Amino acid sequence: KMAGSSAPWIGSAYLFLQSTCKTIVLPSLYESSQKKPSVFKALKLALADSTGSVNGVDMLKVHCSHPHLIVQLKFCKQENCRRFLQSYREGVLQESLQNHLQLSLAMTTVPLEMELKAGNEHLDNMLKDEDRCLECIYREKPDRLRDEEITELEECLKSLIVHQSINNNMAVKGCASLNSPSLPCASQGSSPQVTFIFQGQQFANRTLTPDDHQKFAKLVSKKWKQVGRSLQKNCRALRDPVIDNLALEYDREGLYEQAYQLLLRFIQSEGKKATIARLIAALEENGLISLAEELLGLHSNEDCS
More confident residue, 229 or 54: 229
Confidence of residue 143 (pLDDT cuts 50, 70, 90): confident
Domains of the chain, residue spans: 11-152, 195-296
DSSP state of 220: -
Average pLDDT of the residues in 215-225: 95
Average pLDDT of the residues in 152-158: 83
Report the candidate in 197, 165, 170 with the shortest Cα–Cα distance to residue 280.
197
Reading phi first (left if > 0) and then psi (alpha if -120 to 50, else beta), residue 199 is in left
Average pLDDT of the residues in 125-135: 97
Given a cut of 90, is residue 113 above it in pLDDT? yes
Directed axis angle between helix 255-270 and helix 224-231, to 10°? 10
Which residues are within 8 A (CB) of 280 and not within 5 positions of it... i.e. 6 or more apart? 183, 196, 198, 292, 295, 296
Residue 156 has what pLDDT?
80
Residue 184 has what pLDDT?
38
Between CA 160 and CA 263 the distance in angstroms is 29
Between CA 107 and CA 241 the distance in angstroms is 8
Between CA 228 and CA 64 the distance in angstroms is 30
Write out pLDDT tens, residues 227-286.
999 999 989 899 888 999 999 999 999 999 999 999 999 999 999 899 999 999 999 999
CATH superfamily of 11-152: TRADD, N-terminal domain (3.30.70.680)
Given a cut of 70, is residue 225 above it in pLDDT? yes
Residue 178 has what pLDDT?
37
Burial class (CB in 10 A: 0-12, 13-18, 19+), 171: exposed
Residue 8 has what pLDDT?
86
Average pLDDT of the residues in 74-92: 95
Directed axis angle between helix 78-89 and helix 92-105, to 10°? 80
Q: How far is C-alpha 229 from the chain's CA centre? A: 16
**Average confidence score pLDDT of the chain:** 85
Q: Specify the CATH number of the domain 195-296.
A: 1.10.533.10
Confidence of residue 6 (pLDDT cuts 50, 70, 90): low
74-78, 150-154, 269-273: which is most confident: 74-78
The rounded percent of the chain whose pLDDT value lies above 70 is 85
Least confident of 140-154, 171-185, 207-221, 278-292: 171-185
Least confident of 56-65, 151-160, 285-294: 151-160
Contact 257, 276 (CB under 8 A): no
Give the chain's end-to-end CA distance (angstroms, integer).
70
Residue 137 has what pLDDT?
97
pTM greater than 0.85 (yes/no): no
Report the candidate in 57, 283, 259, 284 with the shortest Cα–Cα distance to residue 150.
57
Q: CA separation (Å) from 33 to 7, 50, 232? A: 39, 27, 19
Between CA 155 and CA 165 the distance in angstroms is 17
